[in-house]
Amino acid sequence: MRRLTILPPAELDVSDAAAWYEERRAGLGDEFLDELDSVLRRIIKSPLQFPIIKNNIRRTLLCRVLS
């Protein structure tokens, strides 16, 4: 099984982003973290599905369906 390493600066960015969303609306921070978790699982399962944006760096975006 593949491993994904998230560096401490990225963990801090995630924490800050979740707090920012939560300040906007209760529960929105959790929705952000749930979507991030889903994307991270996709990355672990099949990292080559994401496009290369520069050199050997791949990118994916989070998306949220508004309800």
**DSSP sequence for the chain:** -------HHHHHHHHHHHHHHHHHSTTHHHHHHHHHHHHHHHHHH-GGGSPEEETTEE---------
- What is the C-alpha separation between 43 and 62, in angstroms, rounded? 12
User: What is the chain's pLDDT, residue by residue, as a tens digit (67 residues)?
Assistant: 778 899 999 999 999 999 999 999 999 999 999 999 999 999 999 999 999 999 999 999 998 765 5
24, 63 in Cβ contact below 8 A?
no
pTM of the model: 0.84
